[in-house]
Structure formats: C-alpha cells, structure tokens
Amino acid sequence: MESPLTSESEIECFVQNLIDYMKNKNVLQKIDSEANKKRITWDVAARREIGEAVKLTLRKLDSKLSPEAIDQLVYLEGERKPRRWKKNYAVFGSRVYPDIGVLMPTSRKRVAIELDHSGKRKTGIPGSDFKKALSKAAFCCLSNNWDYCYVLFYNQSGKPMDACLNRQLEKGILDRYCNEFHTKTIVLS
C-alpha cells in the first residue's frame, strides 16, 4: 500500500509551493537577519517568517480564501489556536502543538510543521538537532491530533547531512517515520 504522503495530493502541492516560496524569497536569510536584528531566538523568527509564508502559500493555492478564512486554517505556536479547531489531547500531561499547524482547506487534514535548525557551531554535527526535531514530530502524529507532519530542518552548520541521511539505517528510520508517523523531513541549507 502506498503511503498517503507519497501520492500527489493537496498537502504535497502545498508543501512544495511553500518550499519554493521560501527559496525564491530567501526566507531563511530573513529569519537569520530578524533574529540577529531583533535579538530574538531563531525559533521565534522562524515561526513569524515561515508562518507568513504558509498563509501566502494557502492564498496562492486557493485565491478565494479570505485573510479571515486563512487565519482559521493556520495556527502559529504562541498564538491562540483558531476557535474552530478541536482541543488537542494532552500526551503525558501536556498538549501537543507544532510550531505551525495547518488545516487544509479542501481535505480538512491537519498538518503539523515542525521547524528546527542546527545552529552555527564550530564543532559537532547537525544530526543531534535533527534527531530532536524528529522526536518532536513523532508526538504530533502519535497523539492522533495531526494527520501529517513535516519537519523543515535548516542546516546552518556548514556540514553536509546528505551522507548520513542516505545510509541504510537512517533511510530505514526516515521510511518508518513516513509510513508509520506520516512524517516527512525536508533539509534546507
């Protein structure tokens, strides 16, 4: 049986358009600039910039959506969740909310977007931060609150991740994430 994430769908189209927008508009550089200029964490700047990109991408996919309708389809961590959204189940005593949540306009599927980065370090490899991002994503789907999850991981370390992502064990782990947790990872650099 083919995984729902590998078929051409509303979600895949949305995510591909989001990634294209982020690349074309240099969103990752804007995040770094905003974090440095405003002395805020990378995570806060990323939610702002990528959250805006999510809203613009939804608008591009369905031009009939009003700004008010889009506000009811998108949740950004730290903001009040849209009033029409069901209350999330508390796992181990706390609710599971991703950095960005999207209720797809046509399919009504709930998509979690986890944002993380490797940071600009002189030592170490980005794999440790990548594993943390994967574990956060798993709880989105394990909680049954989210239908799909995407991990957008910004590798700022300057160290390539391709070699470790393409090894047999890691490919198996990522396949399990895709098939069992409906989670895909996208490494940006």
What pLDDT, in 10s, does the model give residues 26-50?
999 999 999 999 999 999 999 999 9
Rounded CA separation 65/149 (Å): 23
Residue 90 is encoded by which pair of tokens? Answer: 């508390």
Residues 6+ apart with CB under 8 A from 170: 164
Task: State the alpha helices, DSSP H only, in the chain.
Answer: 10-24, 27-38, 42-61, 67-73, 127-142, 162-165, 168-181
pLDDT for residue 8 is more than 70: no
* pLDDT exceeds cutoff 70 at 110: yes
Q: Helix or strand or coil: residue 144?
A: coil
Res 5 pLDDT > 80: no
3-state secondary structure of 111: strand
In this predicted structure, what is the pLDDT of residue 153?
94
What per-residue confidence (pLDDT) applies to 144? 85
What are 115-141's pLDDT values in tens digits? 999 876 555 578 888 998 999 898 888
Distance CA 101, CA 123 (A): 33
Q: Mean per-residue pLDDT for 143-157? A: 90
Question: Mean pLDDT in the chain?
Answer: 87
Mean pLDDT of 151-173: 89
CA atoms of 76 and 97, how far apart (whole Å)? 9
**Strand 110-117 versus strand 148-154 pairing type:** parallel
Q: Are 156 and 45 in contact (CB under 8 A)?
A: no
Q: Enter the pTM of the model.
A: 0.89
pLDDT tens digits along 90-101: 788 887 789 999
Domain extents in the chain: 10-188
Under 8 Å between Cβ of 139 and 96 = yes
The answer to whether 14 touches 108, Cβ cutoff 8 Å, is no
The percent of residues above 90 in pLDDT, for the chain, comes to 58
